[in-house]
Structure 1
Amino acid sequence: MTHLTRQRLRLLGTALAITAAWAAPALAKEKVDLLLRHGHVLTVDPSFSVRSAVAVRDGRIVAVGGEELADRYTADRTIDLAGRTLMPGFTDTHLHPKPMAPNDIAVQSAHSVAEVQDMLRKKAAQLGPGKWITGYGWQESNLAEKRNLTRADLDAATPDNPVMLVRAGAHSAVSNSAALKIAKIDRTTPDPKSGLIEHDAAGEPNGIIRERFDLVSAFIPTPSWESMRPAYIGWLKNILSLGITSFHDASGTIDDEPVGKGGAAGTDPGASWAGANMTFRRAREIYAEMGDQLPRITMYIIYPGAERLKAFPYHTGYGDEHVRLGAIGENAVDGGFTGPTAWLLADYKGQPGFRGKGRYTDAELQEMVDTSARLGWQMGLHCIGDAAIVQTIQAYDKALNAIPDPAHPMADRRWFTDHFTIMPPDATMATMKRDSIMIAQQPNFLYNLEDRYMQVLDDWRLAHNNPLTTPVKKFGLFMAFGSDNLPVNPFVGLYAAITRKGPSGQVHGADEAIPREDAIRMYTANGAYLSWEEKTKGTIEPGKLADLIVLPFDPLTASPETILAGQVDMTFLGGKLVFQR
């Protein structure tokens, strides 16, 4: 071998070594924590694109694409979705955490009056005479008798224990004679402001009080927060099984904040005055310990009055990706149809002269809205009837156009009406469009409250209850979905939104139905937008939190009945598997 040949071989070897050195990094796979593949990935991005694989690292999505991701990434854990649907977790924009208290019965699961009575007898035997028995969630349409519970029903089972059972929706409750006696309510008791005491044919209270059942509940001993804290954590974990990875708590308070910084007068931080309710302070304490295991909260704050709100040092947006402050709400401008006392512009069907009730004078409502606006708060007030919506939008319009928000221009204030059950006049919706006022609605109400709507609404209002197409398509209003515990189940809301069917199978206002893609977006991306979190969650896109759910069916093509009965196979929070069926 000549010197020249040896030199050429050395040069060739060097070149090959250099090439290999450059090629090696290019062939190396990038490390991720989780790789989900072989799926039907509904990204809910602006074009609603569908992919098959997602890579996750440090709690966030790093790549979305096809099976080529397996060539680019190596993962600590790879899950073969085997064709199942992967989509963003649901954001429910209206929930009330309601774990069972020690004195509660599971009345929400009862299917007959006799079953309720059996529950009461067992609880009375457990607690002993004189102890209060409580419960939440009964609904006449779920009972075989298809009627409301009455005082007589409860008396027959528990004459020696005071009882109050709140109807699903929390706009009415039924009490027995022992409870009414404690509350000093009899045939001569006048209706309270914004409430109604029902009477039987003989003129005696029948046990039902609409809206103002605090007349009775004020006498019920409140369990301690310490006794209820584990139940709240259990409730939070349970909604992950429903695919809810974020929610807006519509009953938050600042009552246990320090006095002088927003707390209720006469209390110290964490005092029992706040009872067993979830407060902003308590939520932050729980999530500081176990936030990576629980759905993310945006907490409404019930308006505490001008002075306390001025003293509270924070406002909408304060917090982190686990717990943050949302709107002032859901302070009720009117009642609801579970009462029913929703405030309408027309008489209730078959009840001449009765249109429900409003809760505020115009001046009272304007004071709350103006004060909140000046302090930098988003607004999200409860208004169900069309008359209540008109009053609320008038108050919003005045404040939005008179009180600037240095942090947000008009189009980005993101104020919303909570519920928007009965469609208001066109002029009101035109004002909403002009002021960029949004809607947080519960499409499941159409399904769950079908019987009530059919009883009390005229034909036009029945067909346009919980409207979707008209406000969104005709007037261009922004809408996000929630459930308000009626029931806590996004699949019921999706079913009602795309079919407009109640349990009877009857379609109510087919022209108000929306496409499946729109319904899914309203229960995911739009909920994130309502709290200024659209850049961090709500869709499956790189950089966003890996809050994901796996379904055993495709909600874009499955039968409506499959959606209604839908269940979640897996729920991921920040890429961590927090529920698996």
Structure 2
Amino acid sequence: MGSIAEIQQWIHEQLRTTPANDWIQIPRIDLTRLRERRLPTRAELDAAASEHPVVFNWQYGSRQIQVLNSAALRAAKITRDTPEPVGGKSKIVKDANGELTGVLENPGGLTAKYRQSKPVSDEAFVTALKQVHRSYNRIGITSVIERNTNIEGYRAYEKLKTAGELTVRATVTIGFGSHNTIEEAEKFTHSLPFRFRDGDDWVRVGPLKIFVDGGILYGTAYMREPYGAQANQFYGFTDPDYRGSANFTLNQIENMMRAAHQAGWQMCSHVTGDAGVDLVLDALERVNRDYSIKDRRYTLIHAYFPNPAAVRRAAALGVCVDTQPAWFYKDGDALADALGEARLTNFIGLAEWRNGGVKIAINSDHMHGIDPNKSLNPFNPFLAMYVAVTRRTESGRVIGADQRVSREQALRMTTIDAAYLSFDETKKGSIEVGKLGDLALLSENPLTCEAERIKDILPLVTVVGGKIVYEAPPR
């Protein structure tokens, strides 16, 4: 959905099948993707559904904003006289006359019981996972790094493999959670029923992951400099010195790193802001004084705002970067307007990382939807390559042309360099004698076709393990 009108139309469609007392929960939509670049209002949600509870939820990291229509406010028993929860960050937003706007900031228990997710059976989860993998095959993907799950998620991959229904190879990342004291971190790593690199060439245990900050699309990335007045207006902040925040202290991050390193694990961090990257590198340097971590290929996931100092430090520690050019394509225009174009010149700065000697992979961070180009995070690898080569946003605007990379470099970032992050470069990532039989036959050559056509390349055949897992229908 790309506009408030489309959200309203979607709500109309849900009214036909949603029971009267069930809340209609609008799927995750980032404000950068809406034509209006703002939250829908209570009145706009009322116009779509006056008697049925509806909630728009905008959330990532430590910040959550909801917009409720009038029916949802009534159902939750929230009035202009409802007190805000004591001791938390919850806020019931009102207008100048003291009337409810429908906006709730970090609502917590105010709405939680009305928004509970319906349980999903193991069978339904595995079936859905299989469908997602088939969508990947249709765009030429043969391997994935599942970037955050748990023991049960890993077992789901094993079930597909045992049943002979796994059509992509998977390295599975395990979330570390908030086990941030030495004792808690060691207890967590020792409690896991597997160890790093357990498994086989189809399903393998990957790194442990910690979430250091939030996201730049939500104003929760931890930045070196304040977001600025224009950004504060877009995100809804009032503090002129606001820089976002980190989820953990330096000592807590170090504790988790030490426990994981001593237990033989690779690690990775969700970290989007430049100050967040500084924090991770500070902790890594502390650990590196006692144990060499250079061969562990610690990975920064996202790391959207590289700078020379961070690049030098990362290269010295053998740190890798895993980032998402499709976000530049989809969100670059809105972010340039909010943060200023100068700040966007090195946003997802592939050339900066690469020229500094840091191994980098480009990918999707796919979460919602199964269309390769229209999902919340598009997973079309050729779109990622196109953006890496052209630095064009969806509107055609070029921002930070000096961060372009060559076609061959972009191809390597999608294949052999991505395999390096999971210690698989000797088995996959290139077509060579002795490597796994995974490949895709493409409609055009990304190294020679017109640059604008790179994003439109399609696989004709996708092969995994020597078996055809997708074949395009005859034209």
- Report Cα offsets for 1:379-414 as digits up to 9, x if no partner: 11011111111001111222233245xxxxx43211
SS of corresponding position for 1:577: strand
Q: CA deviation at 1:561?
A: 1.8
User: Cα distance 1:188–1:515, how it changes in 2: closer, same or farther (>3 A)?
Assistant: farther
Partner of 1:414: 297
Identity %: 29
2: CA distance between counterparts of 1:384 and 1:344? 8
Q: CA deviation at 1:512?
A: 0.8
SS of corresponding position for 2:164: helix
Matching of residue 493 in structure 1 with residue 384 in structure 2: yes
Work out whether residues 384 and 419 of structure 1, in 8 Å CA contact, stay in contact via their aligned partners in 2.
yes
Matching of residue 221 in structure 1 with residue 117 in structure 2: yes
Work out whether residues 549 and 571 of structure 1, in 8 Å CA contact, stay in contact via their aligned partners in 2.
yes
Q: May I ask how many residue pairs the two structures share in their alignment?
A: 438
Where does structure 1 lack aligned partners over 5 or more consecutive residues? 1-109, 257-278, 405-409
Partner of 1:128: 19
Partner of 1:545: 436
From 115, 121, 133, the equivalent of 1:236 is 133
Q: Give 1:478's aligned amino acid.
A: K
Range with bigger deviation, 142-151 or 176-185? 176-185
Please identify the structure whose Cα radius of gyration is greater: 1
Matching of residue 448 in structure 1 with residue 330 in structure 2: yes
Matching of residue 286 in structure 1 with residue 160 in structure 2: yes
Work out whether residues 441 and 479 of structure 1, in 8 Å CA contact, stay in contact via their aligned partners in 2.
yes
Q: How big is the alpha-carbon RMSD for the aligned residues of Structure 1 and Structure 2?
A: 3.0
Q: CA deviation at 1:516?
A: 0.4
Work out whether residues 338 and 452 of structure 1, in 8 Å CA contact, stay in contact via their aligned partners in 2.
no
Work out whether residues 41 and 101 of structure 2, in 8 Å CA contact, stay in contact via their aligned partners in 1.
no
Q: Give 2:380's aligned amino acid.
A: N
Matching of residue 338 in structure 1 with residue 192 in structure 2: no
1: CA distance between counterparts of 2:411 and 2:208? 26
Q: Give 1:368's aligned amino acid.
A: M
SS of corresponding position for 1:554: coil
Work out whether residues 274 and 306 of structure 2, in 8 Å CA contact, stay in contact via their aligned partners in 1.
yes
SS of corresponding position for 1:494: helix
Partner of 1:58: none
From 307, 318, 323, the equivalent of 1:436 is 318
- Report Cα offsets for 1:478-525 as digits up to 9, x if no partner: 111111132122122111111111122221111111000000000011
Work out whether residues 243 and 571 of structure 1, in 8 Å CA contact, stay in contact via their aligned partners in 2.
yes
Partner of 1:302: 175
Q: CA deviation at 1:287?
A: 2.1
From 347, 356, 359, the equivalent of 1:478 is 359
Matching of residue 153 in structure 1 with residue 38 in structure 2: no
Q: Give 1:249's aligned amino acid.
A: E
What does residue range 179-258 of structure 1 map to in structure 2 within 5 Å? 182=76, 189=84, 199=93, 201-202=95-96, 204=100, 206-207=102-103, 219-225=115-121, 226-254=123-151, 256=152
2: CA distance between counterparts of 1:511 and 1:423? 13
What does residue range 350-389 of structure 1 map to in structure 2 within 5 Å? 350=229, 351=232, 352-389=240-277
2: CA distance between counterparts of 1:432 and 1:537? 25
2: CA distance between counterparts of 1:488 and 1:163? 29
SS of corresponding position for 1:402: coil
* TM-score, normalisation: structure 1: 0.69
2: CA distance between counterparts of 1:340 and 1:372? 30
2: CA distance between counterparts of 1:480 and 1:537? 14
Q: Give 1:299's aligned amino acid.
A: V
1: CA distance between counterparts of 2:203 and 2:464? 14
Q: Give 1:283's aligned amino acid.
A: Y
User: Cα distance 1:554–1:157, how it changes in 2: closer, same or farther (>3 A)?
Assistant: same
* TM-score, normalisation: structure 2: 0.83
2: CA distance between counterparts of 1:224 and 1:159? 30
Where does structure 2 lack aligned partners over 5 or more consecutive residues? 180-184, 233-239, 367-376
SS of corresponding position for 1:244: coil
